[in-house]
């Protein structure tokens, strides 16, 4: 039986950008003290010329599925807003979900001939057989057109010493920036996707479907290849707008049996 781990965590101050805002993690779900989906990308340098034209993955009138078909507004699985929904304050909702600690990943893909990446924490496993993962993206994220065009992406799980990469791929005002792939060294994975050399684990994925969910889209993808570092390096964690570092860990036996 796998052991549970009791951890003592220390908060690391997040990178700060203009007006005292926390550098947002691009394209993740709303579980931050500051919603990553609410943040805007840094201004685009004039030299930026993506191979895939930048557009929203969904207009006000239609939702575009992974296969390219349009679904009229109001016909998705997402119910219309109710009076009860309006009683839930978005800021309080984000603050409450911010108590759920997450790991941090960088999702990468190829935009034509060049690699592109963005920091994501709205990531989870979805199925073991077949191996499926789920990634949540705000539809306005700059990586979305490239994802829909290539239908392939890699999830790079960051280790505890990779805060700088997380900040940069979030769009922080640093050099090299995302236009320069944050200066990160990478190599093609077994399926040709860009894999960060610094990642403690990576999953190369093929897009299966896209499901609209409120102001985000849920990307379901099949895992085609996996790799991970030896020695179980510690992960980078994010909690209530700050990074966490694991300083001490004690292994404890699990009580009870996992549900089947």
7-49 pLDDT tens trace: 445 555 444 333 333 344 443 433 333 333 323 333 333 222 2
Q: Using alpha carbons only, give the angle 97, 88, 220 rounded to the nearest 5 degrees.
A: 50
Q: What's residue 12's pLDDT?
A: 54
Q: From residue 157, how far is each of 30, 64, 127, 168, 228 by CA, in Å? A: 19, 28, 18, 15, 9
Answering whether pTM is above 0.85, one says: no
- Name the one residue in this structure whose structure tokens are 């610094």: 198
**Per-residue confidence band for 120, with pLDDT thresholds at 50, 70 and 90:** very high
With contact defined as beta carbons under 8 Å apart, do 107 and 158 qualify? Answer: no
Lowest-pLDDT choice from 48-57, 70-79, 130-139 = 48-57
How far apart CA 83 and CA 93 sit, in angstroms, is 16
Of 115, 103, 94, 86, nearest to 188 (Cα)? 115
Q: What is the pLDDT of residues 126-175, one digit of tens each?
A: 999 999 999 999 998 999 999 999 999 999 999 999 999 999 999 999 99
- Cβ partners under 8 Å of residue 130, min gap 6: 222
In the CATH hierarchy, which fold is given to the domain comprising 3-42+88-250? Pnp Oxidase; Chain A (2.30.110)
């Amino acid at each position: 039986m796998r052991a549970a781990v009791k951890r003592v965590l220390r908060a690391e101050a997040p990178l700060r950008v203009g007006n005292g805002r926390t550098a947002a993690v691009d394209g993740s779900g709303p579980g931050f003290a500051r919603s990553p989906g609410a943040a805007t990308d840094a201004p685009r340098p004039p030299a930026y010329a993506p191979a895939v034209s930048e557009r929203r993955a969904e207009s006000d009138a239609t939702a575009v599925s992974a296969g390219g078909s349009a679904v009229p507004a109001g016909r998705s699985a997402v119910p219309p807003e109710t009076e009860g929904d309006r009683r839930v304050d978005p800021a309080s909702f984000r603050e409450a979900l911010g108590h759920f600690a997450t790991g941090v990943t960088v999702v990468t893909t190829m935009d034509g001939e060049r690699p592109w990446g963005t920091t994501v924490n709205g990531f989870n496993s979805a199925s073991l057989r077949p191996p499926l993962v789920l990634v949540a993206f705000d539809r306005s994220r700059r990586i979305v057109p490239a994802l829909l065009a290539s239908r392939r992406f890699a999830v790079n799980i960051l280790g505890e010493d990779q805060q700088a990469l997380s900040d940069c791929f979030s769009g922080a005002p640093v050099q090299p920036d995302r236009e320069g792939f944050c200066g990160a060294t990478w190599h093609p994975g077994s399926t040709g996707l860009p894999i960060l050399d610094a990642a403690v684990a990576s999953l190369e994925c093929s897009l299966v479907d896209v499901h609209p969910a409120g102001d985000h889209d849920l990307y379901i993808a099949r895992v085609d290849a996996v790799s991970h570092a030896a020695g179980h390096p510690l992960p980078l964690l994010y909690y209530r707008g700050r990074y966490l570092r694991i300083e001490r860990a004690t292994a404890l036996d699990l009580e009870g049996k996992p549900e089947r």
